[in-house]
Structure 1
Amino acid sequence: MKRFEYEIMFFEVKKTKDFEKMRRALNDHGADGWEVLSAEAGDYGYTTFLKRELAPNSASEAP
């Protein structure tokens, strides 16, 4: 059975340059195997939900 781990990231976005910071952070996570599931806009920025598959017998897996 596949197993996944999840990450939640918040990005405060007030100016256009803040989107570049958000893109860089998401690209860095993507390079580590994370995939964005969704992004939700709020009053103060964006909350993103990410997941990545755990390798079989990963130390992060619960017994």
Structure 2
Amino acid sequence: MENLIVKLLILHAFIADQRNEYAKMKAENITEQAFVEGIITACEFFEEALEHMMDYR
């Protein structure tokens, strides 16, 4: 079980890093901006889901 928690923590850190990288991006047009915002939203969703999984344990 600890191995799973370690993997979840690593995944959480990776997703948080990706969210931060996309948050720094400056989009050229509305389509690119929508894509960036979608990625950021997806990362936030997965971060919350992972936190819930770790708390539920």
Q: TM class by shorter-chain length?
A: 0.3 to 0.5
> TM-score of the superposition, structure 2-length normalised?
0.41
TM-score by length of 1: 0.38
> Which protein has the bigger strand share?
1
